[in-house]
């Protein structure tokens, strides 16, 4: 049971390069999220998708775009990477059925370094 799968797990970019982080879930959840984790800052929400076909900005959306490709997949794109985007990125889904009451299920994270 894969749950939430993120790719790639590690990536090094140069300033100005672009890249896409992929996230796929097999939990049949409607809501998907992208967070970034920085030391001392906890997790900050970048974008989320409450359901297929919708996306909304979170706390720190600048410099990012997202695509909810279908119910399973939610990608995060950096169009022109900056050193301030060096972070660990987590994809998550929210369960609201089957006994779950709004908790998140996380992928293992993607560590991105921008030089």
Partner 1 sequence: GNSVTQMEGPVTLSEEAFLTINCTYTATGYPSLFWYVQYPGEGLQLLLKATKADDKGSNKGFEATYRKETTSFHLEKGSVQVSDSAVYFCALRDSSASKIIFGSGTRLSIRP
CB of 76 to partner 1, least distance (A): 15
CB of 81 to partner 1, least distance (A): 22
Q: Which is nearer to partner 1, 7 or 18 (CB)?
A: 7
Contact criterion met (CB below 8 Å) for 110 and 19:
no
Hey, what are 44's tokens?
A: 């900050």
Hey, what are 76's tokens?
A: 């995060």
Q: Which is nearer to partner 1, 46 or 78 (CB)?
A: 46
40: left (phi over 0), alpha (psi -120 to 50) or beta: left
Residues 52 and 74: their CA atoms lie apart, in Å, by: 9
Hey, what are 82's tokens?
A: 């900056």
Point out which residues bind partner 1 (CB under 8 A): 4, 31, 33, 35, 40-45, 48, 50, 58, 90, 92, 94, 101-109
Q: Which is nearer to partner 1, 14 or 62 (CB)?
A: 62
CB of 103 to partner 1, least distance (A): 5
Residue whose token pair is 């993607």: 110
Q: Which is nearer to partner 1, 38 or 79 (CB)?
A: 38
- Kindly report the backbone phi and psi dihedral angles of residue 99, in degrees, each rounded to the nearest multiple of 5, phi listed first: 90, -10
CB of 14 to partner 1, least distance (A): 26
């Amino acid at each position: 049971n894969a749950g939430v799968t993120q790719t790639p797990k590690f990536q090094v970019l140069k300033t100005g390069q672009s890249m896409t982080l992929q996230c796929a879930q097999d939990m049949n959840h409607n809501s998907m999220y992208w967070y970034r984790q920085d030391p001392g800052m906890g997790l900050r929400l970048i974008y989320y998708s409450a359901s297929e076909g919708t996306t909304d900005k979170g706390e720190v959306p600048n410099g990012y775009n997202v695509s909810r490709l279908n119910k399973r997949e939610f990608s995060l794109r950096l169009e022109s990477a900056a050193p301030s985007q060096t972070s660990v990125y987590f994809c998550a889904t929210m369960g609201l059925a089957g006994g779950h009451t709004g908790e998140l299920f996380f992928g293992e994270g993607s560590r991105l370094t921008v030089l």
